[in-house]
Chains A and B, each alone.
Chain A
Amino acid sequence: MTITSKAQRSWAHAGAMAAILALPLGVAAPAIAQDYPSAEETLDWTIAFGPGGGNDIMARTIIDILTKYDLYPGDIAPENRAGGSGAVGWGYLYAQSGDPYGISTTSGSFVTTPLQADTPWQPEDFTPVALLATDDLVLVVNGSSEIETIEEFIEAAKASPMNIGGTGTVNVDFIVPTLFAQSAGFEFDYVSFNSMADQTTALLSDALDAMVGNPGEILGLIESGELRPLVFSGQNTPAALEGVPTMGDVGHDIGVSMPRGLILAPDAPAAAQDWWIATMQEVVETPEWADYIEGNTLTPTVIYGDDFRVFLETTKNGFEEVLRSVGAID
């Protein structure tokens, strides 16, 4: 199988990379902090969702890279603490306040769950390490639709309102088309679905006019021409969607996306935060990370430390404003 040989190649590659990476790191680490991280301590890695989900895959990819390149000296214990759309897992990390050995990855729910429920924590409470990537959306129509380009879509939507499907309401799926429509000056009815599978079926059955979704899950349908991509919400179009303009390209940049990043417990020591920033700078340079970004069609957007905290705050406030204006939250 091609997969196996690919994996073997990357293993061989990994050996070489490890040798190169180990050099600067071996010198740099002691300079940053004398005793962090200690090989004695086990890193308590909270995954706030169940196995197999987007958050889980990202966490395990980072852990694999850390292990493969010997970037972390001690043991790493990943634990799925699922429940309450992330409230349980991040609540656990929140309770580890001040502990440099509690860590977690974030996803969209990190911003949206506190907006929906009375969580004791807010995204900006945690010690930010880095924003690593963002989830962006593609707007697609049925392959048999007469609409070929985003300009035609906007024209048609201005003439008679369209319906656009997405997953959930307190979500980028709702916020992205809402902001885009405001900017482009058309109206639409948003139809909320429980999962990407439900909305894709609805679009294929011609019940929907269009939908937004994460490109990774529908690439197969895009490749075969069943779905036609019109516009992408990220800053750069991923390779798999070559030729599709971004919202910025067509003059309606909205600047909203879901953050996938790394956080430590609140009030973690500065030495730990610095160590992880330095380490993540290594991680994002590895070929495995590039494979992960490509395979999941994420947009690589890397921001470190307090800039990440600012990003989280801006995203949260932006969401809150849009959701409040439509009455989704009060």
Chain B
Amino acid sequence: MRIAFLFVVLAGAVYYTSVAFLDLSFLSRTGRLGPGFFPRIVGVAAIAMTIWVIVDALREGRAPDDESSTWGDVLMLMALAVAYAVLLRLFGGLIATVIYLGLTLSLLNRGHHRQNAVLSIAIPGAVYLLFDRLLNANMPPALFDMPF
């Protein structure tokens, strides 16, 4: 997994650097440092460092995985967070938060049905009151008009 992550970083660095070299000029047309100056330095340095770390990691070989950890719940939480992002776009801040909290709490806080129901209404409600009514701050709007 660690190697995979490092390769993702390397891919990003290569892409970043290629754009810096292909699209952004090193010097501006008046002969000063151009838009590509800094990105090229940063990009090349990032590629070099990442390759170095990858080589180190390959040489060390496979590190034993940490057993005390639980991948299942983390991946579930990440998936839920992504789902929340999509829900926000569709249904707006208030509704999406109710759905997200309801779903997440029922998975994490099993068995406490009443508590979960109360929390997934009360928290979005309180945030809505604080943001929208008291502070007049922006809440994500719904993509479609809600009937209420």
Q: Which residues of A contact B (CB under 8 A)?
A: 80, 189, 326-327
Decide if B69 is an interface residue (CB 8 Å cutoff).
Answer: no
Question: Are B29 and A189 closer than 8 Å at their CB atoms?
Answer: no
Question: Are B138 and A189 closer than 8 Å at their CB atoms?
Answer: no
Expressed in whole angstroms, the Cα–Cα distance for A44 and B29 within the complex equals 45
Across the two chains, which residue of chain A brings its CB closest to B34? Answer: A327
Residues of A close to B30: CB separation below 8 A: 189
Across the two chains, which residue of chain B brings its CB closest to A82? Answer: B138
The majority secondary structure among interface residues of chain B is: loop
Expressed in whole angstroms, the Cα–Cα distance for A327 and B29 within the complex equals 8
Across the two chains, which residue of chain B brings its CB closest to A51? Answer: B136
Residues of A close to B29: CB separation below 8 A: 326-327
Shortest distance between the CB of A102 and any CB in chain B (Å): 14
Residues of A close to B138: CB separation below 8 A: 80
> Which residues in window 14-52 of B have CB below 8 A to A?
29-30
Residues of B close to A326: CB separation below 8 A: 29
Across the two chains, which residue of chain B brings its CB closest to A326? Answer: B29
Count B interface residues, CB 8 Å.
3
Enumerate 4 A-B pairs (CB-CB under 8 Å) in ascending A order.
A80-B138, A189-B30, A326-B29, A327-B29
Expressed in whole angstroms, the Cα–Cα distance for A159 and B26 within the complex equals 30
Residues of B close to A189: CB separation below 8 A: 30
Shortest distance between the CB of A217 and any CB in chain B (Å): 26
Shortest distance between the CB of A22 and any CB in chain B (Å): 31
Residues of B close to A80: CB separation below 8 A: 138
Across the two chains, which residue of chain B brings its CB closest to A327? Answer: B29
Residues of B close to A327: CB separation below 8 A: 29
Shortest distance between the CB of B64 and any CB in chain A (Å): 47
Expressed in whole angstroms, the Cα–Cα distance for A326 and B30 within the complex equals 10
Expressed in whole angstroms, the Cα–Cα distance for A80 and B30 within the complex equals 40
Shortest distance between the CB of B141 and any CB in chain A (Å): 9
Expressed in whole angstroms, the Cα–Cα distance for A80 and B141 within the complex equals 12
Closest 3 CB pairs of A and B: A327-B29, A189-B30, A80-B138
Expressed in whole angstroms, the Cα–Cα distance for A118 and B30 within the complex equals 27
Expressed in whole angstroms, the Cα–Cα distance for A80 and B135 within the complex equals 13
Expressed in whole angstroms, the Cα–Cα distance for A93 and B61 within the complex equals 58
Shortest distance between the CB of B43 and any CB in chain A (Å): 22
Expressed in whole angstroms, the Cα–Cα distance for A199 and B89 within the complex equals 39
Across the two chains, which residue of chain B brings its CB closest to A190? Answer: B30
Across the two chains, which residue of chain A brings its CB closest to B28? Answer: A327
Expressed in whole angstroms, the Cα–Cα distance for A327 and B30 within the complex equals 11
Expressed in whole angstroms, the Cα–Cα distance for A189 and B29 within the complex equals 12
Contact with A along B105-148 (1 / 0, CB 8 A): 00000000000000000000000000000000010000000000
Shortest distance between the CB of B22 and any CB in chain A (Å): 14
Expressed in whole angstroms, the Cα–Cα distance for A292 and B138 within the complex equals 27
Shortest distance between the CB of B138 and any CB in chain A (Å): 7
Shortest distance between the CB of B115 and any CB in chain A (Å): 36
Shortest distance between the CB of B32 and any CB in chain A (Å): 8
Shortest distance between the CB of B26 and any CB in chain A (Å): 14
Expressed in whole angstroms, the Cα–Cα distance for A327 and B23 within the complex equals 13
Expressed in whole angstroms, the Cα–Cα distance for A327 and B138 within the complex equals 37
Across the two chains, which residue of chain B brings its CB closest to A50? Answer: B138
Shortest distance between the CB of B25 and any CB in chain A (Å): 9
Expressed in whole angstroms, the Cα–Cα distance for A182 and B18 within the complex equals 37
Expressed in whole angstroms, the Cα–Cα distance for A327 and B25 within the complex equals 11
Expressed in whole angstroms, the Cα–Cα distance for A189 and B30 within the complex equals 9
Expressed in whole angstroms, the Cα–Cα distance for A293 and B2 within the complex equals 61
Across the two chains, which residue of chain B brings its CB closest to A81? Answer: B138
Expressed in whole angstroms, the Cα–Cα distance for A80 and B139 within the complex equals 11
Expressed in whole angstroms, the Cα–Cα distance for A10 and B29 within the complex equals 54
Expressed in whole angstroms, the Cα–Cα distance for A326 and B138 within the complex equals 39
Shortest distance between the CB of A304 and any CB in chain B (Å): 33
Across the two chains, which residue of chain B brings its CB closest to A189? Answer: B30
Shortest distance between the CB of A188 and any CB in chain B (Å): 11
Across the two chains, which residue of chain A brings its CB closest to B30? Answer: A189
Across the two chains, which residue of chain B brings its CB closest to A92? Answer: B141
Across the two chains, which residue of chain A brings its CB closest to B32? Answer: A189
Shortest distance between the CB of A20 and any CB in chain B (Å): 34
Shortest distance between the CB of A83 and any CB in chain B (Å): 10
Expressed in whole angstroms, the Cα–Cα distance for A326 and B29 within the complex equals 8
